[in-house]
């Protein structure tokens, strides 16, 4: 009946169906809103249509406004003439029929319909805050009118996806269909049932009030997470307007607040993070027809902290997983650690006791290699030494069936060398998990030269199947994440030689947005771990920049939290880092021994010293073809190192400073501090041509 390419009007007897077809997720891209309005007008003018259904083709209802259009001076319909207004004003009832996702503008359109029904697997939410904006299609005004101010605040400031059954309990949905019911048919039947109802139920006609103190309490509760951000506070202000102003005035207030956010730095950074996370999944140099292998029988070798965490990650995502260690005692200890980690989550309330039992039951400790002979993917997570890993790879190669994949959880070892001990190097790759492996989202997939495209796709997909964000890294010392981070780690200690204190550096980085300062993180991880790596690197490279202050601390047995002393001191049983005059004295004495002149630092200088060092190394990684794109490095920093998401990632942030400024500063430090600050070739080229880091063309992946 209507031939807009993205929205069509069909008829099923006396019911009109407005069908959105804008793949892949029915975002409100160009023409979709206009198409909905046009169909509504046509249907309202057609006397043979008694009621309407708004429904999506493909895998979703509507996933929200088209995020690519934000901040681009996009055209938008004026207030009073938007789809939400047209749906409100429809003289015939409209039923939103929801499957897949109804998010952001998608849910807002549904809320402007007169009725909402959904299949049980549908998810509804207003996730705008996660991209630095607020629901600007009336969501902040309509949702509280249905669920009350508190629940609306919770949903809007968290952006969480609410499953359909819960949405029905909250009153957002009028009906959840039985499992397996046909959505289109059910929606038509529902529409027939309510055709002719008067007056039409309109959410805008409801009122909402709030308990005193709700908004202040919410501002306090988001304060930690929302540090340096505006959007969460604007979300709260908009819901407050829903409670204090008539509907149309509330909508105007929502629009004003939205306009302040759309082009904000945080919104730009968060949009970048959103798209970077999708881009990172793409492996552009692999043949297009390669598909990941569907694995069903994973096994983990090594029940230490990493192996246990990896097994938990499988169990958390519904996989039965076998776990093996060298001795029954080590296996028992590992299982005990897993149990205790789950028990902590139960105690904290983030996991139900039943669910803990279900997950534990999926982890199967086994006694020997023959027990895992039928596994189709094995992740080795034993001690990080080539001479320990090699015999295990040989054994696995012998015992596993042809076609089984062999992955190593390594953070540093040469994957080509490890693959070479097997007769199936094409089935071998690195899978570098971050600690704790069941919590941290990053999975760095390391690509040895002989790995087949299917192996790489499988390793990437495996990560996604267990809730990770997989990112491909070349087989280079430290791979991509840790290699790009290493200069930051050195620079933060070198700063101490020049007169900084750990607490000053940590404060700067926490102010910047990290959840913890890097020295406090070091104490948590254990300072002895880094010392081993430094020793190895110093032996291999006579020009290696030693870190005598860090070495001194380890020499004195200050290993961090586990010894109640590291960069900070800790009271027994208390993890609060306390500045320690003893550390200040150690720093002063090493600096005096080295004869380094002492001076003071601005916060900006500290921040730039740490991050520019890493930007320079990231450029080297790109120029060597060890990563596909600069934005992959951003994803690694966001999910591997807690880089503040609202700053987009290392390279996005550096583009904010400007490539020429970054280069000029690095060149100046090169003059002052010597070779470790030599600008990379790529950095020089980008600076000369004024090309942003994110537009850098890396060398072909090797």
Chosen residue from 16, 35, 56, 64 binding ligand 3H9 by CB under 6 A: 64
- Confirm if 252 and 242 have CB atoms less than 8 A apart: no
Indicate the burial class of 700 (C-beta count within 10 angstroms; 0-12, 13-18, 19 or more).
Answer: exposed
Residue 159 Cβ, how far from ligand 3H9 at the closest point, in Å?
8
Chosen residue from 5, 11, 68, 318 binding ligand 3H9 by CB under 6 A: 68
Count of CB atoms situated within 10 Å of the CB of 514: 19
Chosen residue from 9, 17, 52, 63 binding ligand 3H9 by CB under 6 A: 63
Query: What does DSSP assign to residue 207?
Result: -
Q: Is 108 a residue of the active site?
A: yes
Query: Of residues 485-524, which lie at the interface with ligand 3H9 (CB under 6 A)?
Result: none
- Confirm if 594 and 546 have CB atoms less than 8 A apart: no
Closest to ligand 3H9 by CB, 285 vs 394, is 285
- Confirm if 401 and 298 have CB atoms less than 8 A apart: no
Closest to ligand 3H9 by CB, 268 vs 485, is 268
Considering 10, 128, 444, 605, which one is annotated as catalytic?
Answer: 128
631 preceded by a cis bond (ω within 30 of 0)? no
Closest to ligand 3H9 by CB, 132 vs 530, is 132
Residue 139 Cβ, how far from ligand 3H9 at the closest point, in Å?
6
DSSP 3-state assignment of 138? coil
Residue 197 Cβ, how far from ligand 3H9 at the closest point, in Å?
28
Residue 294 Cβ, how far from ligand 3H9 at the closest point, in Å?
18
Residue 128 Cβ, how far from ligand 3H9 at the closest point, in Å?
5
- Label the pairing between strands 27-28 and 15-20: unpaired
Chosen residue from 20, 66, 570, 590 binding ligand 3H9 by CB under 6 A: 66
- Binding piece for ligand 3H9, criterion CB under 6 A, among 14-22, 128-136, 300-308, 608-616: 128-136
Q: Is 394 a residue of the active site?
A: no
Closest to ligand 3H9 by CB, 51 vs 273, is 273
- Confirm if 682 and 616 have CB atoms less than 8 A apart: no
Residue 385 Cβ, how far from ligand 3H9 at the closest point, in Å?
38
- Residue 500: name the closest of 594, 603, 576 by CA: 603
Residue 103 Cβ, how far from ligand 3H9 at the closest point, in Å?
4
Q: Is 278 in the site for ligand 3H9 (CB under 6 A)?
A: yes
Q: Find the helix packing angle between 527-540 and 518-525, rounded to 10°.
A: 90
Query: What does DSSP assign to residue 560?
Result: B
Query: Of residues 92-121, which lie at the interface with ligand 3H9 (CB under 6 A)?
Result: 101, 103-105, 108
Q: Give the H/E segment covering residue 32.
A: helix 32-45
Chosen residue from 128, 240, 454, 623 binding ligand 3H9 by CB under 6 A: 128
- Binding piece for ligand 3H9, criterion CB under 6 A, among 65-73, 435-443, 548-556, 636-644: 65-73
| Cα–Cα distance for residue pair 465/460, rounded to 1 Å | 9
Residue 167 Cβ, how far from ligand 3H9 at the closest point, in Å?
15
Instruction: Please state whether 405 falls in left (phi above 0), alpha (psi between -120 and 50) or beta.
Output: beta
Q: Is 463 in the site for ligand 3H9 (CB under 6 A)?
A: no
DSSP 3-state assignment of 126? coil
Q: Applying CB under 6 A, what is the total number of residues that bind ligand 3H9?
A: 22
User: How large is the C-alpha radius of gyration of the chain?
Assistant: 28
Count of CB atoms situated within 10 Å of the CB of 508: 24
Query: Of residues 6-45, which lie at the interface with ligand 3H9 (CB under 6 A)?
Result: 24-25, 27
Closest to ligand 3H9 by CB, 194 vs 286, is 286
Q: Is the dihedral of CA 128, 133, 137, 138 positive or negative?
A: positive
Closest to ligand 3H9 by CB, 104 vs 522, is 104
- Residue 459: name the closest of 450, 476, 446 by CA: 446
| Cα–Cα distance for residue pair 247/176, rounded to 1 Å | 28
Interface mask toward ligand 3H9 for 129-168; x: CB under 6 A: --x---xxx-x-----------------------------
DSSP 3-state assignment of 188? helix
Q: List beta partners, residue 470.
A: 443
Considering 10, 34, 38, 108, which one is annotated as catalytic?
Answer: 108
- Binding piece for ligand 3H9, criterion CB under 6 A, among 59-67, 150-158, 322-330, 335-343: 59-67
- Binding piece for ligand 3H9, criterion CB under 6 A, among 126-134, 342-350, 588-596, 644-652: 126-134
Query: Which are the contacts of 259, defined by CB distance < 8 A and separation ≥ 6?
Result: none
- Residue 411: name the closest of 480, 338, 312, 472 by CA: 480
Query: Of residues 434-453, which lie at the interface with ligand 3H9 (CB under 6 A)?
Result: none
Chosen residue from 18, 19, 65, 493 binding ligand 3H9 by CB under 6 A: 65
Closest to ligand 3H9 by CB, 286 vs 412, is 286
Q: Is the dihedral of CA 202, 207, 211, 214 positive or negative?
A: positive
Closest to ligand 3H9 by CB, 56 vs 577, is 56
Count of CB atoms situated within 10 Å of the CB of 291: 10
Helical spans, DSSP H, in 223-284? 231-244, 247-262, 265-279
Q: What tokens appear for 98 in the block?
A: 């929801």
- Confirm if 164 and 107 have CB atoms less than 8 A apart: no
Residue 604 Cβ, how far from ligand 3H9 at the closest point, in Å?
33
Residue 75 Cβ, how far from ligand 3H9 at the closest point, in Å?
12
Q: List beta partners, residue 364.
A: 322
Closest to ligand 3H9 by CB, 66 vs 266, is 66
Closest to ligand 3H9 by CB, 267 vs 615, is 267
Give me the active site residues, please.
108, 128
Residues of this chain that interact with ligand 3H9 (CB under 6 A) are 24-25, 27, 63-68, 101, 103-105, 108, 127-128, 131, 135-137, 139, 278
């Amino acid at each position: 009946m209507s031939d807009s390419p993205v929205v069509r009007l069909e008829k099923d007897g006396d019911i009109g169906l407005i069908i959105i077809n804008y793949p892949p997720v029915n975002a409100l891209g160009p023409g979709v809103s206009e198409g909905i309005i046009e169909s509504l007008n046509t249907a309202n003018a057609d006397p043979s249509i008694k009621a309407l259904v708004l429904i999506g083709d493909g895998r979703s209802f509507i996933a929200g406004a088209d995020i690519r259009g934000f901040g681009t001076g996009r055209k938008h319909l004026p207030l009073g003439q938007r789809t939400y207004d047209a749906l409100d004003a429809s003289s015939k009832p409209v039923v939103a029929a929801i499957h897949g996702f109804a998010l952001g503008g998608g849910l807002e359109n549904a809320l402007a319909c007169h009725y909402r029904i959904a299949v049980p697997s549908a998810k509804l939410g207003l996730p705008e805050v996660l991209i630095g904006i607020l629901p600007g299609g009336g969501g902040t005004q309509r949702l509280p009118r249905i669920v009350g101010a508190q629940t609306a605040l919770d949903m809007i400031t968290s952006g969480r996806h609410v499953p359909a059954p819960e949405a029905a309990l909250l009153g957002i949905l009028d009906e959840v269909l039985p499992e397996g019911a046909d959505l289109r048919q059910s929606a038509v039947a529902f529409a027939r049932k309510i055709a002719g109802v008067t007056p039409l139920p309109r959410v805008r006609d409801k009122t909402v009030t709030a308990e005193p103190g709700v908004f202040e309490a919410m501002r306090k509760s988001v304060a930690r997470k929302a540090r340096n951000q505006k959007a969460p506070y604007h979300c709260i202000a908009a819901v407050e307007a829903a409670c204090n102003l008539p509907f149309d005035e509330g909508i105007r207030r929502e629009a004003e607040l939205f306009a302040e956010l759309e082009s904000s730095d945080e919104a730009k950074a968060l949009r970048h993070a959103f798209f970077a996370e999708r881009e990172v999944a793409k492996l552009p140099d692999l043949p297009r027809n390669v598909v990941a292998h569907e694995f069903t029988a994973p096994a983990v070798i090594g029940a230490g902290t990493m192996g246990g965490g990896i097994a938990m990650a499988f169990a958390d995502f519904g996989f039965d997983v076998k776990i093996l260690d060298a001795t029954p005692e080590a296996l028992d200890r590992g299982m005990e650690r897993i149990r205790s980690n789950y028990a902590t989550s139960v105690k904290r309330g983030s996991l139900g006791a039943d669910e803990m039992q279900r997950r534990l039951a999926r982890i199967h400790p086994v006694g020997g290699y023959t027990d895992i002979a039928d596994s189709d993917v094995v992740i080795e997570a034993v001690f990080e030494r080539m001479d320990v890993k090699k015999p295990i790879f040989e054994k696995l190669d012998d015992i596993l069936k042809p076609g089984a994949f062999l992955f190593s959880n390594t953070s540093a070892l040469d994957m080509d060398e490890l693959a070479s001990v097997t007769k199936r190097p094409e089935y071998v790759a690195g899978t570098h998990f971050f600690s704790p492996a069941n919590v941290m989202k990053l999975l760095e997939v390391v690509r040895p030269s002989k790995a087949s495209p299917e192996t790489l796709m499988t390793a990437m997909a495996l990560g996604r199947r267990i809730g990770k964000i997989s990112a491909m890294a070349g087989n280079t010392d430290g791979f991509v994440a840790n290699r790009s981070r290493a200069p930051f780690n050195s620079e933060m200690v070198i700063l101490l030689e020049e007169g900084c204190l750990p607490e000053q550096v940590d404060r700067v980085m926490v102010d910047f947005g990290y959840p913890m300062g890097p020295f406090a993180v070091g104490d948590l991880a254990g300072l002895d771990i880094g010392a081993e790596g430094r020793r190895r690197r110093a032996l291999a490279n006579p020009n290696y920049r030693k870190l005598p202050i860090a070495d001194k601390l380890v020499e004195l047995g200050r290993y961090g939290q586990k010894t109640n002393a590291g960069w900070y001191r800790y009271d027994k049983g208390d993890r609060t880092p306390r500045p320690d005059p003893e550390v200040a004295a150690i720093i002063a004495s090493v600096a005096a021994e080295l004869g380094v002149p002492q001076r003071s630092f601005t916060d900006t200088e500290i921040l730039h010293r740490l991050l520019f060092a890493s930007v320079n190394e990231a450029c080297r990684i790109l120029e060597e073809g060890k990563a596909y794109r600069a934005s992959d490095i951003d994803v690694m920093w966001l999910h591997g190192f807690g880089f503040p998401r609202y700053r987009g990632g290392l390279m996005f942030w550096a583009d904010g400073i400007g490539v020429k400024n970054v280069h000029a500063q690095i060149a100046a430090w090169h003059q002052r501090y010597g070779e470790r600050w030599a600008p990379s070739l790529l950095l020089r080229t980008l600076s000369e041509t004024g090309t942003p880091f994110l537009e850098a063309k890396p060398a072909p992946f090797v």
